[in-house]
Amino acid sequence: MTAPGVAQIAHDLAWLITAPDLVTLPPPMPNGGRPTCQELGLATGTADWLQQITPLLAGVNRQQTGRMGHYHERLWHLLLDNAPNTRLLAKNVRIFKKRTTLGELDMLYRTRDNPAPVHLEVAIKFYLGLPEGPGPADSPSRWIGPGGLDSLALKCAHLCQHQLPRSITPGALATLAHWLTPRDIATCSSTVEELLTHRLAMPGVLFYPWHAALPSPQGATPNHHRGMWCFLRDWPALRDSLGASLRMVWLRKPHWLAPPRAEDFQPVAAVMPGIERLIEQYGPQQIMLYLPHQQRIERVFIVPNDWPRQVPIAPRAR
């Protein structure tokens, strides 16, 4: 598979615009989910808009690294600053207390019809569910990253306890006031804290075990993107269950978002030996399968037979 270019970035951005969040966090954080197509001004005409910003996509292509988080954030920066109804105000906003950095806010943006800044935290996550693990069957602690260093429970706890509340600290509110004029506040008859909106965008995929039943984790959105995972030893059985015409492609970071081009899918026999070597050398690998007879695409993680080698400790209850 050749290195993806501008066309794949356009597909990834289109995927991001409509991708559902993985979870809904409990009150009081946040008081809004991901920016909607209507809020962005992209309820219609997305294809034409993507065509118009092609030169900007080329800039993203030149700056690419394999780091998923950085790529995902750059797509959000591009989206919020160029969508018809939004403008990016700032990114990676540092919050200080005297000379000490308390943290950063991912990004601030505003809409055409509201002068108040919107604080948006973003994350893209790919978690695999464990049939056996910490907590009950629907515990978010059972959903872990392919490297075994992160879990859905840990991420949600960090968002609720640290990242999202950070924007209502005195230092953050003083910083955010720079994006409001006294006229803005007077017009709305509100303080900065009352005007501020917290948002969270956390798209991604939850991969369900192929070999066992597992319910969705607590807090999962009904329409979250789904995949499946299997041990390397179970791959032949999974392959055979999907039909002889199956085709596949290895997903190269950071392009784990939208499906690749149709021509990138190859016969399993041509791709799988390389995938096996990657699994043996580096661990879990994400692939995408195309089932021609069903006109269907499936996301799959294939993991070593001894996976996981570690499971994150569940977050401490508060």
Q: For the chain of 318 residues, list the mean pLDDT of each consecutive stretch of 10.
A: 71 95 77 85 93 89 77 95 95 80 86 85 96 95 96 92 79 74 57 73 97 96 97 97 93 93 93 97 97 93 96 82
Domain ranges for the chain, please list them: 6-205, 219-303
Positive or negative, the CA dihedral 189, 191, 194, 196 is positive
Task: State yes or no: cis peptide before 308, omega within 30 of 0.
Answer: yes
Beta bridge partners of 90: 108
Q: What is the β-pairing status of strands 143-144 and 125-129?
A: antiparallel
Residues near 54 by beta carbon (within 8 Å), at least 6 away in sequence: 6, 10
Q: Which of 68, 69, 90 is nearest to 80 (CA)?
A: 90
Q: Which of 294, 121, 100 is nearest to 196 (CA)?
A: 121
Residues near 195 by beta carbon (within 8 Å), at least 6 away in sequence: 116, 117, 180, 184, 185, 188
55-71 core/surface letters (b: 16 or more CB in 10 A; e: else): ebbeebeeebeeebeeb
Q: What is the pLDDT of residue 193?
A: 65
Q: What is the pLDDT of residue 28?
A: 58
Residue 49 and residue 84 in contact, taking contact as beta carbons nearer than 8 Å = yes
How far is Cα 311 from Cα 148, in angstroms, rounded to an integer?
Answer: 5
Residue 150 and residue 312 in contact, taking contact as beta carbons nearer than 8 Å = yes
pTM (predicted TM-score): 0.92
Residues near 199 by beta carbon (within 8 Å), at least 6 away in sequence: 30, 32, 33, 34, 35, 118, 119, 120, 121
Q: Where are the beta strands (DSSP E) in the chain?
A: 86-97, 100-111, 114-122, 125-129, 143-144, 197-201, 204-209, 226-231, 247-250, 266-267, 285-291, 296-303
Q: What is the pLDDT of residue 136?
A: 95
Q: Which of 162, 157, 152, 126 is nearest to 311 (CA)?
A: 152
Residue 197 in tokens: 């909106």
How far is Cα 88 from Cα 110, in angstroms, rounded to an integer?
Answer: 7
Positive or negative, the CA dihedral 207, 210, 211, 216 is positive
How far is Cα 26 from Cα 111, in angstroms, rounded to an integer?
Answer: 25
How far is Cα 129 from Cα 24, in angstroms, rounded to an integer?
Answer: 18
